[in-house]
Structure 1
Amino acid sequence: MKKINHIALFIFMLLFSAASFAQEKTTGTQEKKIRETPKQQKAREKVMKEGMAKMDKAELLTEKYNYDEAIKTYLKIEEKGFRTASLYKKLGDAYYANNDAGQAIRWYRELFKLKKEVIEPEYYYRLAQSLKTVGKYDDANKLLDELHTIKSDDQRGDLFDKNRNYINSIESNSGRYKVKITTASSTVSDYGAAFYGTDKIVFTSNRDSLGVTARKDRWTNKAFTALYIAEIGPKGDLVRPQKFSSRVQTKLHESTPVFTKDKQVMYFTKNNLNDGKLQKDDKDRILLKIYRAEADGDKWKNIKELPFTSNSYNTAHPCLSPDEKTLFFASDMPGGYGMSDIYSVSINEDGTFGNPENLGPGINTEARETFPFVTETKLYFASDGHPGLGGLDVFVAELQPNGTYVKAINVGEPINTHFDDFGFIINEESRMGYFTSNRTSGIGYDDVYSLTEYIALDFTCRQFISGIVSDKETKKAITGAKVALYDADENLMEEMVTAEDGVYYFGVDCEKAYTVKIQALDYLPKELPTEVTEKEGDVVLPAVMEKPEKIVEPEAPNMYENAAPVVGLDLAKKFRIEQIYFNTGRYNIRPDAAKQLDKIVIFMKEHPSIKIDIRSHTDSRGPEKQNQLLSENRAREIMAYIIRKGIDSKRLTAKGYGESQLVNKCADWVKCTEKEHQANRRSEFIITDM
């Protein structure tokens, strides 16, 4: 995976501050229970003392975002035998910050080999994210499950728990866009596109690195980022890129602008540099602020930081609401939910600003939410806290009538990948826009891609019902089980057959009741009723299947001494098999009926020459024609069930008799109990041939 080398991302996406989570300092190695000689003890103590001193130096490099040098130092310490939880955390963090998922996984796993009591929940999440980046979703999901167990109030774990089928959900949202890398992209970093009128785009780039005289950032060893402008060419391509304005360019970084529709006001991100003087926080870091500038012909004037920015925290990546009365941005200011959150602030008519408001837990998590973009009805943003494919994914939330955003939906592929995908913008009228990605198919560290939306996202609440079909005794998954989904009115919605893993899943609408029905050869059928709510999320319904009890043990002697099979014999009566009952007006086989049918199946398998006529009857309630049709359907359903259990169809016939052969007084207009009526809803199994 390519490293992200631009400041706008590393500040908000790669920030590992003390505010994010506590990091304990381990003062000793995991000692083995062996005796040390005085010489060995002295050598170990020397390693520890030198290691701790070098750890402090490496940590200073990390605080200044010089991860490459920090990694070199950490590795040298590890090679000397200094192996602590603190070292593995910091080494993994440095690779995580540099987007080297493979090495991050290596060192986080070393951390997990130690006692888990010293591992904060954050590392379960970071290892899970790293595993997603290399496509190991099953391993990542196990860690997210553990995260939810050990820290139930962590929103990331809760989101996973409520959306365990998030990969299926992402797949269902995928395929709605066509994307293509723009020719304005270079071999370095190009990102953060913004509309400039209707025919131009302004984006961020450090392409000055391609020259020989550019001032370079010591951390990235690339030129500082600046704003570039390009024309929107045919089919959304970006052509003829050039420097946007020298007036807003400083000796450090500028990035991610947004413009009013009349192009007279610009909000943009840049380093904390005022009147040529750098402003630093208490850790000697140059943070980011949002600035406002006014157009003056081709130049910009009155460049001032916004009043809610600070020398103590970052603000960046501004965007405007369509009515230009609200500014959205990302920040790690105190009081948020995670490493960076999305905020909104009102812009008053006199040009002053209200107080920033956090968009809340429906949008923000303990991780990183950033790069907002707002349309009339939607908020797009990037996050690695909501369930995604790995790295940063683009999400969208719908504006509610009360003016809030409460639920984020992953926009799916091809916008999102295993890598970082962010900076999504779109013109909803033309349905064309742009986004940024560092996917390996690009040509630089980050590239600007064009997008065309062909299918709009449906915000109707959808969840998944899923489970594993397994054998009760062996616990093994059952292959070839038929799983069907029915709605509350017993209408068949969808059906599937399980593969080797025994897994089934159905996408369903929220706030409705469903029944999952499972049938498998040599097993009793099972019905699993459930209700799906948006609040509870996905429903997991394991289906543990049981085999029917045998009528008698195979080796038992004289198994039919009192009931030898003869033509005309009703097996239900002669072998004391309970009648096959149905619910009123239905012909679906009930679980209690299935147990009785399995006895018929076993008998027919033990007598392979016998043929049976299935006769189905109804009670007298309802129209006579309807009862006749119902009984015929019941007879056919019973025959189909027996055939599915392995009996040759040539050995079976089936007929419905409706209400023509009642077994009691309960004819039309005769008052009877429900039990008396149910006695007429029966089936018979008559031997017709030996």
Structure 2
Amino acid sequence: MKKTFRYLIITSIAFFSVAIYAQKGKIQSVQDDYRDFAYVKTSEVLLEVANKGYRSVDLLQKLANSFYFQNKMEEAAKWYGELMALNEVIDPEYYFRYAMALKGSKNYDASNEWMKKFNDLKPDDLRGRAFMSKVDYKSDIEAVSRDDIQPNNLEFNTEYSDFGTSPTVDGNGIVFASSRGGGRKYRWNEQPYLDLFTVKKSVEGNYGEVSEIGGDVNTKYHESSVAYSPDGMYMYFTRNNYYNLRYKEDDTGINRLQLYRATRSEDGDWENIQSIHFNGEDYSVAHPTITLDGKKLYFASDMPGTYGMSDIFVVDINEDGTLGEPENLGTSINTEGQETFPFVNTSGDLYYSSGGFPGLGGLDVFVSRELDQNYRNSSPNNFNFTIQNVGKPVNSAADDFGYYENVVTKEVYFSSNREGGKGSDDIYSFIEPECTQLVTGTVKDKDSFELIPGAVVVLYNETGEELERKTVGQEATFEFDLECDKEYLIRGEKETYISDEKRFTTPSKKQDLEIELLLDKDEQQVNPCDDLAKILDIPIIYFDFDKSNIRYDAEIELQKVIAVLNQYPTMTIDIRSHTDCRGTDIYNEKLSDRRAQSTRNYLIKNDITDDRLTAKGYGEYRLVNDCGCEQTDTSSCSEEEHQENRRSEFIITSFKGEKCPEN
């Protein structure tokens, strides 16, 4: 049984000792008169091809990304879904983006399923691990630990047990439990029974004289763990099952812990002690904490429905001050071990101690961010709460519990029986230092890696709220001063480009953090003599060996060419077909010419007039690699290398009245 709890429980019962990812950014649309210039908008070409029913991994990836980075999540989800339906091997990042697009479309169940698949493919990715509540606890603990903080063993600690802090009603001090009070001794440790005490804190940060809490709260048995209603009129606290001067034990002779409520009198003392209705003689209820709005009370108990030695529960506080029926927070918070000493801060984060999750030893303090809000929006039965070990210096190899923090003043209190203390349990405190993180980066072209001056870099918080935006200079660099241990999204934007973004969490301690944003060209200027295959990123129009028929994958790429020709009626092109070196020169020249004519005929069948198209086969005379058959040994060339030479090109011969000089 944990040392911390022997003051609270008799004999051998080991019991108590503790965002829709949203995006608001908008990509600036191209002005209406932009089309008067010679530009091809890749995303529109892809959409036109896809709407005709053509599918490929490359096409769907680029099309879905174009909507995703414009925050058009329903359209992005549609095309990511089409991509997944191909059942091809793709980068797991697309699973993540699909999940985010589904969530942005409020399709939460499907989003969860794809996040699970993402986690399966990238089990080391922090996003998937956070979603699945599966963490590499050693590296996670180290990542959040603060070696630069040395907690103070508070001056009023004694050789006895002191633990479990809460603020006083007036906020000028703290309330805590201690066995310093004298009186009858608890036979299990030969220390006096626990009572509640208060101590005031000066403006300079020093603590005054310790005194017993006023009123009828303290008895000859244990009291500990205080929580106040927001108006300060009620105090909930833990005590042995001792009520109306009656000390009760269960059938095994054990006196359990119970929750009580006291009312504040006009002179500030606590009176009119009442037992909470769900207390029981056969189980314990203890360690209350109340939310900022006073509508929820969290506590620890081993009542029926508990998964382990003790669990964290929550109960409604009704308008008349009565309590509803408790609900267990479920298996993402509770384990088969011991969960106890809950505390909910003003942000709705739940802190508690657990021995059931991996930690540094004994009881460790864990946090579930925004649990109270998440709980109210869902319920423990269908919400997967995520938890995080808060790391050092709060946690150690000993029992660490009784966490309390003031979000405004950055003061943190906790209790521990770690080595070097004054007594069996001591109260520790520290001021959390300010931590800022400088994030730097550059914006580059995804293909050429050239700098993109004039790009706009936008910073968002974890909920998608825009925090800051900057226009980069000639060096295309940016920097932001951020808070530590916070989630952010940085997005780079530029006209004629598809945006790029990076989501990341700043470390809890300052480190070098550099981000590179790579923007993919969306609109490219076209001129006579340009090759549409390069402009449209058409890999190669392939033909099967010794064939001239249009393959399905080639058909998809040709649809892109058709879309551009339809967009610019004055454009004419020359189709150039090539073969590999296998076969005779004459045969290859004829084969390539048949392929060029086959490509031309396909375009004509798709309503491109024949006077806009010329076609010629060049046989094996323009190879793109060293696989020429005049070599003494061509066996070293693979089929893939030969296929690179079996290709088509689309050279713009005239455009807007200007002709290509080469033609």
Q: TM-score range by the shorter chain?
A: 0.3 to 0.5
More helix by share: 1
Structure 2 length as normaliser, TM-score? 0.47
Structure 1 length as normaliser, TM-score? 0.45
Which one scores higher on RCO, CA 8 angstroms, separation ≥ 6?
2
